[in-house]
């Protein structure tokens, strides 16, 4: 990568800033798209964030957008803004292989996922599809199909997962907006490792089709540089879609409205280790504490307290492993041999669990949801580390020497809130001594997505949060 320079290039601008530039005539979608594509192509060999780029199609869409802006007739809220789509979500005209050699590329591929359809309607420019582990099954991003996705801040380390390619793309300036999916932390984990912002919305707030085999654990969410861009993206992708029978009614207003309301008077619960259940690296713990202190300085009422929960990992595993088994149920024995060995292993475990095991896990989930509902009667927000550590070596499911068997061993702060379906964000709040990003998690009650975005926006506005720029990145298009 080239030597670092000041962040003055087009690839360093947020979507909000790009749209303002389009309105003022400072630059156009073609130059912005070309710069984003150049950045994507430059970093791809080292980081491996993409499974495919759409250079020709992207520039065609950008040219059409530029003409609309010239006429003063932009289409929707994101006209001409480059976006990427995780290769779990359907995008019309391109194979969605989900990181798997078991998926036939010669499909029809004639549908958009709901969130992708909304982006298309609003004039967004699709740069490419981003990497995922096979069927999004784990918290790091590597697969037999597309290889290992690496951390922009240190390519020897993982970008996290399962939306690792999306996080790396945003961090590196290959598009300011990305669509990810999150079934156990899959937008928040890579956001924390790569130094960007991500929101797992309340389940159903963003429609999903086809339905995930992981059921109501799976959410679609925005991955961006800051909360303002995420709010803008939520205003687009939260639009209704009749194909998702479990989708919520449209949000009562714009997520961009009220972003500047601040945190004064909010009741914030600060749980540094979920009641001592989690060992957190000292530099991570210190960064989270500084963030909480900033919330207090901004007028929030902060109390160090823990939610009433014990680690629900066994219940999560039952639901997750059964979902994985369902994903591959149709495959022949020969096709299963193509799978990631770790995925093949959990599929076997999932197939051995009974319907009664599954329903017992649902009972644990419902009780956890009840307890978190009661917790939020007295606390508007819960603040925890997003992860107990910074990024570890690439190409492994768990850190070497950690003693963990599965990725859930090092993600204890994320997957509980997929069980409860609550909105949760990872906010970038600095780096450790090695320059690796640290994330803070903000969790709200179900349907309190706007509040989570508002609190995150306050942290960005105060300087307590900022996307972490990778070293050695020269702005394209400057």
User: Which residue numbers are catalytic?
Assistant: 86, 162, 186
Distance between CA atoms of residues 125 and 81, nearest Å: 6
What residues contact residue 434 under an 8 Å CB cut-off, 6+ apart? 154, 390
Q: Is the Cα torsion angle 318, 319, 323, 326 positive or negative in sign?
A: positive
Structure tokens at 345: 């292993």
Q: What is the dihedral of CA 216, 168, 405, 137, to 10 degrees?
A: 30
Partners of 222 in the β-ladder:
179
Contact 216, 365 (CB under 8 A): no
Cβ atoms within 10 A of the Cβ of 328, count?
A: 22
User: Which contacts of 290-293 are long-range, i.e. CB under 8 A and separated by 24 or more positions?
Assistant: 290/429, 290/430, 290/464, 291/383, 291/427, 291/429, 291/440, 291/459, 291/464, 291/465, 292/268, 292/383
- Residue 162 CA to residue 183 CA, distance in Å, equals 9
What lies within 8 Å, CB to CB, of 353 at 6+ separation is 318, 321, 322
Q: CA-based angle 269:275:279, to the nearest 5?
A: 115
Say if residue 8 is preceded by a cis peptide, omega within 30 of 0. no
* Closest CA relative to residue 325, chosen from 349, 290, 357, 358: 349
For residue 450, give the 3-state DSSP assignment.
Answer: helix
Q: Which residues contact 309 (CB under 8 A, 6 or more apart)?
A: 274, 368, 371, 372, 416
Question: Residue 446 to residues 95, 201, 316, 424: CA-CA distances in angstroms?
Answer: 34, 9, 19, 10
């Amino acid at each position: 990568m080239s030597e670092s320079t000041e962040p003055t290039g087009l690839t360093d601008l947020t979507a909000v800033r790009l749209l303002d530039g389009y309105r003022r005539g400072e630059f156009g979608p073609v130059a912005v798209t070309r710069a984003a594509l150049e950045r994507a192509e430059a970093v791809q060999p080292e980081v491996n964030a993409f499974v495919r780029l759409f250079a020709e199609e992207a520039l065609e869409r950008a040219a059409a957008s530029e003409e609309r802006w010239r006429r003063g007739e932009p289409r929707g809220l994101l006209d001409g803004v480059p976006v990427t789509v995780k290769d779990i979500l359907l995008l019309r005209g391109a194979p969605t292989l989900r990181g798997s050699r078991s998926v036939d590329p010669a499909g029809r591929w004639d549908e958009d996922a709901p969130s992708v359809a909304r982006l298309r309607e609003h004039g967004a420019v699709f740069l490419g599809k981003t990497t995922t582990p096979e069927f999004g099954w784990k918290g790091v991003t590597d697969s037999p199909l597309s290889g290992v996705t690496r951390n922009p801040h240190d390519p020897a380390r993982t970008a996290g997962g399962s939306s690792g390619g999306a996080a790396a793309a945003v961090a590196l300036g290959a598009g300011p907006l990305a669509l990810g999916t999150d079934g156990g932390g899959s937008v928040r984990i890579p956001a924390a490792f790569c130094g960007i912002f991500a929101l797992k919305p309340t389940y159903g707030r963003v429609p999903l089709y086809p339905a995930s085999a992981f059921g109501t654990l799976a959410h679609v969410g925005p991955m961006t540089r800051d909360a303002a861009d995420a709010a803008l993206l939520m205003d687009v992708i939260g639009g209704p879609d009749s194909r998702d029978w479990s989708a919520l009614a449209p949000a009562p207003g714009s997520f961009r409205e009220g972003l500047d309301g601040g945190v004064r008077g909010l009741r914030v619960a600060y749980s540094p280790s979920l009641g001592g259940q989690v060992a957190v690296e000292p530099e991570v713990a210190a960064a989270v504490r500084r963030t909480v202190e900033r919330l207090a300085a901004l007028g929030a009422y902060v109390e160090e307290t823990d939610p009433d929960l014990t680690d629900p990992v066994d219940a999560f595993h039952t639901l997750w492993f059964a979902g994985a088994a369902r994903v591959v149920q149709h495959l022949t024995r020969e096709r299963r041999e193509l799978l990631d060995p770790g995925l093949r292993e959990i599929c076997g475990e999932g197939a051995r669990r009974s319907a009664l095991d599954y329903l017992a896990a649902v009972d644990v989930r419902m009780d956890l949801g009840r307890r978190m509902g009661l917790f939020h009667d007295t606390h508007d927000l819960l603040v925890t580390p997003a992860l107990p550590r910074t990024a570890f070596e690439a190409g492994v499911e768990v850190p070497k020497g950690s003693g963990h068997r599965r990725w859930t061993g090092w993600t204890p702060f994320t997957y509980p809130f997929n069980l409860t379906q609550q909105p949760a964000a990872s906010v970038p709040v600095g780096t450790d001594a090695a320059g690796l990003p640290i994330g803070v998690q903000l969790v709200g009650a179900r349907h309190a997505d706007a509040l989570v975005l508002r609190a995150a926006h306050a942290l960005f506005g105060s300087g307590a949060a900022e996307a972490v720029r990778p070293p050695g990145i020269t702005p394209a298009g400057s």
